[in-house]
Amino acid sequence: MDIRTYQSEDDPALMALERMCPRGLPEPFIHYRRRFVDRAALFADYEVLVVEHEDAIIGTGAVSLKDTYVGGEAVRVGYIFDIRTNPAVRRQGIGQAIVDACEDYLVSRGAHGAYGHIVSSNVASLKLFAKLGYIRLRQLMLLSYQPSPATDIPGWMPRHSEEYWDGCDLVEEMYCSRDFYVPDAAMAVGSFGFQNWTLDLGDADVASISLYDQSYVFQQWPAHLPFPSEEEMAHRGIKNLRLFNHVGIHRPALLQTIFDTLRDIAVTDSVGKLSLLIDRLDRVPQFFFQEADRQLDYWMVFKVLDRAWEPQWQDAPIYIDTREL
């Protein structure tokens, strides 16, 4: 068994491996993407590792590195994701070898810790990471919504911008004190249909939601359906909008007006679904839950890599990077 770095010619074999590894009970899914590396390439600093045996790819994993804060202390952390092992060779230590290799890479780059997100129904992955010393840090919720025509037209209309820096001051004010905050999420998805929608009535009465079209990067595809070709997916032309950096949780009426506007536009804009990822501790307005047609739960697991560091987690919601799920 050999572990090496990704090469572009690995994509066909890696996408074949992706199709062998559905997850997300009770409705298993896989990721459709044009290139396997596209998820990792959302990050400025990343590595994709490939496991080979007798000239066949039997496993893979990816890791990104980011500089952020925990408890107000500047730290460097790694996000481990896209762990895949061929079902025919599972229970032979390959998954552990992939995670170990990701950690070795992070340690060599001065990372203080590593984390990942695991679907709560993926018992095998949860056991693997627990065995390797990861703790369950937070529970996350991925909420999905269908396009829906607005039934109540408000007297004011939110404005929108396609410039990733528009609204950054509001986002920073809202999120900069949270653990794991990074300022470059909007910039990283700026070329993928990014929009920022803002409703500002003055006197601090302001709310905003950012979004990008995740289908440019990957789409969750039902595992029981035939895997589509790139041509078939392009012909479908279905957008999947990821909402993020929602500002104005104490202005729920304004925030819901933006939300309803986005769902209304989505009806005639070839949008298949909208989604929002939040920390369970986040006190978001109730309509986010009431309007969701599906919820998928994840565990954020974390491991300290630098033994001289003891994280001082804040008793507050964590910042969720929209690129990570």
d(C-alpha 296, C-alpha 280), whole Å: 12
pLDDT at 45: 96
Q: What is the DSSP string of 101-154?
A: HHHHHHHHTT-SEEEEEEETT-HHHHHHHHHTT-EEEEEEEEEEE-----SS--
pLDDT at 150: 85
3-state secondary structure of 79: strand
d(C-alpha 93, C-alpha 98), whole Å: 9
Q: Is the dihedral of CA 277, 282, 285, 290 positive or negative?
A: positive
> How far apart, in Å, are the Cα atoms of 317 and each of 117, 158, 280?
16, 27, 8
pLDDT digits (tens, 9 = 90+) for 270-306: 999 999 999 999 999 999 999 999 999 999 999 999 9
- Name the nearest CA neighbour of 129 among 311, 301, 306: 301
pLDDT at 24: 81
pLDDT at 85: 95
The angle formed by the CA atoms of residues 77, 80 and 83, to the nearest 5 degrees, is 175
- Name the nearest CA neighbour of 185 among 212, 218, 220, 206: 212
pLDDT digits (tens, 9 = 90+) for 52-87: 999 999 999 999 999 999 999 999 999 999 999 999
Asked if residue 208 lies in contact with residue 199, where contact means CB atoms within 8 angstroms, the answer is yes
> How far apart, in Å, are the Cα atoms of 50 and each of 32, 214, 217, 218, 224?
19, 24, 20, 19, 26
pLDDT at 310: 97
Asked if residue 138 lies in contact with residue 298, where contact means CB atoms within 8 angstroms, the answer is no
pLDDT at 88: 92
Residue type for 27, please?
E
Asked if residue 60 lies in contact with residue 21, where contact means CB atoms within 8 angstroms, the answer is no
b/e code 209-220 from CB counts within 10 Å (16+ = b):
bbbbbbbbbbbb
Give the number of other CB atoms < 10 A from CB of residue 32.
19
The 3 state secondary structure assigned to 148-189 is CCCCCCCCCCCEEECCCCCCHHHHHHHHCCCCCCCCCHHHHC
pLDDT at 286: 95
Q: Provide the β-strand partners of residue 9.
A: none
d(C-alpha 181, C-alpha 177), whole Å: 7
Q: Provide the β-strand partners of residue 279.
A: 140
For residue 20, give both structure tokens: 């062998």
Model pTM above 0.85: yes
Q: Is the dihedral of CA 300, 316, 289, 268 positive or negative?
A: negative
For residue 17, give both structure tokens: 């491996």
* HSE, side-chain direction, 13 A CA sphere, residue 309: 21
Asked if residue 61 lies in contact with residue 82, where contact means CB atoms within 8 angstroms, the answer is yes
- H/E stretch holding 22: none
All residues at 6 or more sequence positions from 51 whose CB lies less than 8 Å from its CB, including other chains: 1, 2, 3, 57, 58, 59, 60, 85, 94, 97, 98
Q: Which residues of the chain have pLDDT under 70?
A: 153-154
